[in-house]
């Protein structure tokens, strides 16, 4: 009897010790405070920002320290995060959460509902403005903090345009007709092997950098799926798909995956990229940037585009969620957003961006149009089966638009029918 | 040292009168130490192979998705729904067609080339080690690294097309629906050849020299000796090469993932395993991916059994 009692006591002590290890904080859960772990992206500029943010927080909060690391290597950060959710070892915060993966993470039970914090909804909508609504989940709540965007625009190589006899300062790229004519001139003159070269591969996300920005612009900011139904099987979708179909049919873009950066390597005279590219291309390419084209040409200050945003999500494996929420607000404060902008050139998802940081945009005029464009961005729809929806769209797009195996109208109708069903969950 | 032999008197005891000292042997066999030594590997196989397969079969009958520990999720039994979804998916049929093309090219080419090269290498006297290592290097080199070289060779402006000049295919190899899978099959054949050559080289050492001498005395030339002595002599190895090439080929993933940018062009090189990855990992439908995996296992087992049956594996 005495031995059994002794064993029970030892087991209870062990269990308590384990529980304490796992908790690592005062209360645990949404009220928990204590040390937290965060992951951030692995590119140089974001690491520099992350390190200073962590140092600044840790200096002021000795009892609630941040342990930071780069997102572990994997085929994609979404797969790594998904695996971490399943294993129960996700960090408290991930500063690189793809909005397209949020519905899946939410379904897995891996995300904390940020709207349930007292000031959750208020903080997010006050910081980001109306654009924040695109990031609400189907239940109307936020499971991700809109963090930063890379609104994509058309980058063009001024030297190649000049070589083709085109006006490099005011290139005719506003309408589809102008764009196509310019593209033909670039290729026929021999200035560039391809006018533009979006990746023709089959990954689900590739349509974010060819069809979707132009669709957002042409439709005035319509998402691929709205109110549980596909939107693109209409005149807008047809115009955009026909435009790209012409590009491929006439050989103005390549159908083969290019190993490297076609724009930087001089293989293509144009590219669809966000402001991250400014520091990458640097002085290697004499570039200019214009909004993505529309059928009849829309004024730049009315043109929408794809956001290419990455957000911050809080994970249910986090024991000290109260601390994590405070860190989330600290890291997205006006001061930290300013440092972020300065370090990375990517746009914080903050309303009135150019007015908030006038000094930065005055000192970096190349970024100003991206700062302005950030106010008119379209996100991937926050709906069930988000990635499957994009893969369905991409498969049909490849078949019809890139490889010309199916009429555009059939592709749009077929993909819309499948996506309608997927969007219902 | 543990003694495993039984006392002589025990041998005379009838089955109904098994003394207590023999009971452990009935369960542990004649060599319990062998069981002990093989236990770690059996445990390994059980944990990383048998358990996942059983779990995968179970998953294929549920509405299953990966969830956080402790999350309240509903994963009901759905019978054959996932299998029906797989069978009704045209992409699945296409992927099986693609891998069928792959196997038709890869397996005979692997068997034929590796046997020929192994026979040639067996005869080489000078620089034997150099040749053997040369054939083995692609096998031990990471696919990711080798793929970059092949992309350079087979891209539109690549070396192969430059050599072919006007004969170069249009569209080029890896973006041509008809040529993408054969190009991948060539790549995999080339990359895996070193391993199969080693198998054949080992098998060739067991073919008696007197058989070759007798054939020569009977007037057989080099070709005749190859077909009447070498080929039958290495038949066990041939069965093994057929089976291994089929199994690894049916599990094709890395090459279409890297060489053709995720199964392109337009799905012409999508393999069933690549589709499993897309469905299960990317799109969060491991239940459908598991059903596809189970169908793939059955498909591979049938082909392997046919090969074993018709290539005389039992006799070997």
The rounded distance, in Å, linking the Cα atoms of B196 and A52 is 54
Instruction: Please give the average per-residue pLDDT across A270-297, as a whole number.
Output: 91
**Band of residue B4 on the pLDDT scale cut at 50, 70, 90:** very low
Measured between alpha carbons, how far is B193 from B118 in angstroms, rounded to an integer?
10
Q: Which residues in chain A are contacts of B267 at CB distance < 8 A?
A: 202, 395, 398-399
pLDDT digits 0-9 by tens, A151-173 = 999 999 999 999 999 999 999 99
Q: Write down the pLDDT at residue A25.
A: 39
More confident residue, A253 or B2: A253
Rounded to whole angstroms, the Cα distance separating B28 from B20 reads 14
The DSSP bridge partners found for residue A153 are A273
Q: Which of B264, B267, B282 sits opposite A204 (nearest CB)?
A: B282
Burial of A165 (0-12, 13-18, 19+ CB in 10 A): exposed
Other CB atoms within 10 Å distance of the CB of residue A265: 14
**What is the domain class of A153-307+382-423 according to CATH?**
alpha beta
Identify the bridge partners of residue B62 per DSSP, sorted by sequence position.
B77
Neighbours of B19 (CB within 10 A): 11
A116: nearest Cα among A90, A130, A100, A137:
A137
Rounded Cα distance between B81 and A147, Å, is: 40
* Cα–Cα–Cα angle for A226, A228, A232, rounded to 5 degrees: 50
Percent of chain A with pLDDT over 70: 93
pLDDT tens digits for range A224-236:
999 999 999 999 9
Read off the pLDDT of residues A57-111 as tens digits, 9 standing for 90 and up: 999 999 999 999 999 987 788 899 999 999 999 999 999 999 999 999 999 999 9
Nearest CA of chain B to the CA of A28: how many Å?
Answer: 15
- Where in chain A are all domains bearing CATH 3.40.190.10? 30-143+310-348, 153-307+382-423
pLDDT of residue B23: 62
Q: What would the pLDDT profile of B166-175 be if each residue is shown by its tens digit?
A: 999 988 899 8
- Least confident range of A58-62, A384-388, A413-417: A384-388
Number of Cβ atoms within 10 Å of the Cβ of A398: 23
What pLDDT does A18 receive?
37
**In the CATH scheme, what architecture does the domain A30-143+310-348 have?**
3-Layer(aba) Sandwich (3.40)
The residue ranking higher by pLDDT, A21 or A184, is A184
Give the single-character DSSP code of A131. G
CA B95 to each of CA A252, A314, B270: distance values in angstroms, whole numbers, following the listed order:
30, 38, 5
CA distance A63 to B278: 43
Cα dihedral A342→A343→A346→A352 (10° resolution) = -30
Q: What is the pLDDT of residue B32?
A: 82
Q: Identify which of B70, B171, B278 has the shortest CB distance to residue A391.
A: B278
Mean pLDDT of all residues belonging to chain B:
87
Residue among A375, A154, A356, A118 at smallest CA distance from A263? A154
In this predicted structure, the answer to whether residue B1 has a pLDDT above a threshold of 50 is no
- Smallest CA-to-CA distance from A375 within A297, A301, A278, A274 is with A301
| DSSP string for A135-197 | GB-TTS-BSSEEEEE---EEEEEHHHHHHTT--SSS-S-SBHHHHHHHHHHHHHTTS-SEEE-
Q: Is the ipTM of this complex over 0.85?
A: no
d(CA A369, CA A378): 16
The minimum CA-CA distance between B134 and chain A, rounded to whole Å, is: 27
**A103/A120 Cα distance (integer angstroms):** 19
Distance of CA B158 to the CA centre of its chain: 30
Of A194-198, B22-26, B78-82, B256-260, the poorest mean pLDDT is in B22-26
Residues B73-80: contacts with CB under 8 Å, at least 24 apart? B73/A107, B73/A108, B73/A109, B78/B287
Q: Residue A101's pLDDT is what? A: 93
What CATH homologous superfamily does B81-310 map to?
Answer: MetI-like (1.10.3720.10)
pLDDT in tens, A103-147: 999 999 999 999 999 999 999 999 999 999 999 998 999 999 999
| Mean predicted lDDT score pLDDT of chain A | 90
Shortest alpha-carbon distance between residue B276 and chain A (Å): 13
- The 10s digit of each residue's pLDDT in B61-90 is 999 999 999 888 888 999 999 999 999 999
Q: What is the pLDDT of residue B133?
A: 86
- How would you classify the pairing of strands A310-314 and A145-149? antiparallel
Judge whether A49 and A17 are in contact, CB under 8 Å.
no
Q: Give the E-state strand segments of chain B in sequence order.
A: none
CB-CB contact of B282 with A387 (8 Å): yes
Confidence band for A3, pLDDT divided at 50, 70 and 90: very low
| Residues B268-314: tens digit of each pLDDT | 999 999 999 999 988 889 999 999 999 999 999 999 888 888 876 55
Over range A209-220, report the average pLDDT: 96
Q: Kindly report each contact of residues A164-170 with a partner whose C-beta sits within 8 Å and lies 24 or more positions away, as own/partner.
A: A164/A189, A164/A191, A164/A192, A164/A269, A165/A189, A168/A288, A169/A288
Tell me the per-residue pLDDT of B286-296, one tens digit each, with 9 for 90 and over.
999 999 999 99
CA nearest A259 in B: which residue?
A: B151
pLDDT band at A15 (very low <50, low <70, confident <90, very high): very low
Instruction: Name the token pair of B53.
Output: 């397969």
Q: Are B300 and B107 in contact (CB under 8 A)?
A: no
- pLDDT score recorded for residue A380: 94
B177: nearest CA in chain A?
Answer: A403
Residue with tokens 């007037």: B219
Per domain, the residue ranges of chain B are: 22-59, 81-310
Hey, is A38 helix, strand or coil? strand
Cα dihedral A284, A285, A291, A293 sign: negative
Confidence of residue A14 (pLDDT cuts 50, 70, 90): very low
Rounded distance between C-alpha atoms, residue B175 and residue B150, angstroms:
13
pLDDT score recorded for residue A411: 96
Interface of A with B (CB under 8 A): 78-79, 82, 85-88, 90, 104, 107-110, 199-204, 254-257, 259, 316-317, 385, 387-388, 391, 395, 398-399, 402-403, 405
Classify strands A268-273 and A194-196 as parallel, antiparallel or unpaired.
parallel
């Amino acid at each position: 009897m005495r031995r059994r009692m002794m064993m029970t006591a030892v087991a209870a002590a062990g269990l308590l010790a384990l529980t304490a290890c796992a908790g690592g904080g005062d209360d645990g859960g949404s009220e928990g405070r204590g040390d937290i772990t965060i992951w951030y992206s692995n590119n140089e500029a974001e690491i520099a920002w992350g390190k200073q943010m962590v140092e600044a927080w840790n200096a002021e909060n000795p009892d609630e320290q941040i342990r930071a690391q780069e997102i572990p290597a994997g085929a994609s950060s979404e797969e790594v995060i998904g695996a971490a959710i399943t294993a129960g070892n996700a960090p408290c915060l991930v500063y690189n959460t793809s909005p397209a993966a949020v519905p899946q993470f939410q379904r897995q039970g891996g995300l904390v509902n940020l709207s349930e914090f007292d000031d959750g909804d208020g903080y997010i909508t006050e910081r980001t403005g109306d654009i924040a609504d695109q990031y609400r989940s189907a239940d109307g709540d936020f499971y991700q903090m809109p963090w930063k965007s890379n609104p994509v625009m058309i980058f063009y190589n001024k030297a190649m345009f000049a070589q083709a006899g085109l006006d490099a300062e005011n290139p005719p790229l506003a309408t589809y007709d102008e764009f196509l004519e310019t593209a033909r001139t670039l290729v026929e003159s021999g200035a560039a092997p391809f006018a533009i070269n979006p990746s023709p591969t089959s990954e689900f996300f590739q349509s974010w950098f060819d069809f979707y920005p132009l669709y957002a612009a042409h439709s005035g900011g319509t998402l691929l799926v709205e109110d549980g139904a596909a939107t693109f099987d209409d005149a807008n979708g047809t115009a955009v798909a026909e435009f790209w179909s012409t590009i491929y049919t006439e050989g103005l873009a390549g159908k083969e995956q290019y190993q490297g950066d076609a724009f930087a390597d001089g293989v293509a005279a144009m590219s669809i990229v966000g402001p991250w590219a400014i520091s990458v291309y640097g002085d290697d390419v004499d570039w200019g940037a214009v909004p993505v084209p529309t059928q009849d040409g829309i004024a730049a200050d009315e043109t929408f585009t794809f956001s290419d945003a990455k957000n911050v999500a809080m994970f249910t494996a986090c024991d000290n969620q109260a601390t994590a929420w405070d860190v989330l607000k600290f890291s997205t404060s006006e001061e930290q957003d300013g440092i972020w902008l300065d370090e990375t050139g990517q746009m914080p998802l903050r309303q009135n961006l150019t007015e908030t940081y006038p000094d930065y945009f005055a000192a970096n005029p190349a970024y100003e149009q991206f700062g302005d464009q950030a106010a008119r961005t379209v996100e991937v729809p926050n709906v069930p089966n988000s990635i499957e929806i994009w893969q369905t769209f991409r498969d049909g797009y490849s078949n019809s638009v890139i490889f010309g195996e199916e009429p555009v109208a059939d592709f749009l109708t077929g993909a819309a029918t499948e996506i309608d069903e997927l969007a219902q969950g | 040292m543990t003694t495993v032999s039984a006392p002589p008197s025990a041998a005379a005891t009838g089955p109904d009168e098994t003394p207590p000292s023999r009971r452990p042997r009935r369960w542990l066999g004649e060599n319990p130490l062998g069981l002990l030594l093989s236990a770690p590997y059996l445990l390994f196989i059980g944990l990383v192979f048998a358990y996942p397969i059983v779990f995968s079969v179970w998953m294929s009958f549920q509405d299953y998705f990966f969830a956080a520990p402790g999350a309240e999720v509903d994963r009901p039994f759905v019978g054959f729904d996932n299998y029906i979804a797989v069978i009704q998916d045209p992409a699945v049929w296409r992927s099986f067609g693609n891998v069928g093309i792959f196997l038709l090219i890869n397996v005979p080419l692997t068997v034929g080339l590796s046997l020929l090269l192994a026979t040639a290498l067996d005869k080489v006297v000078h620089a034997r080690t150099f040749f053997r290592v040369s054939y083995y290097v692609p096998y031990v080199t990471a696919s990711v690294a080798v793929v970059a070289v092949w992309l350079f060779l087979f891209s539109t402006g690549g070396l192969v097309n430059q050599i072919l000049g006007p004969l170069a295919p249009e569209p080029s190899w890896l973006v041509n629906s008809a040529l993408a899978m054969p190009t991948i099959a060539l790549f995999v054949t080339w990359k895996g050849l070193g391993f199969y050559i080693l198998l054949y080289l080992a098998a060739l050492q067991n073919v008696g020299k007197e058989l070759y001498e007798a054939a020569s005395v009977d007037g057989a030339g080099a070709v005749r000796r190859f077909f009447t002595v070498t080929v039958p002599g290495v038949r066990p190895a041939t069965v093994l090469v057929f089976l291994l090439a089929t199994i690894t080929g049916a599990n094709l993933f890395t090459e279409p993932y890297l060489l053709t940018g995720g199964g392109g062009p337009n799905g012409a090189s999508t393999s069933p395993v690549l589709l499993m990855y897309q469905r299960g990992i990317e799109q969060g439908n491991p239940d459908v991916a598991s059903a596809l995996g189970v169908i793939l296992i059955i498909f591979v087992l049938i082909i392997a059994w046919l090969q074993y049956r018709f290539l005389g594996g039992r006799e070997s």
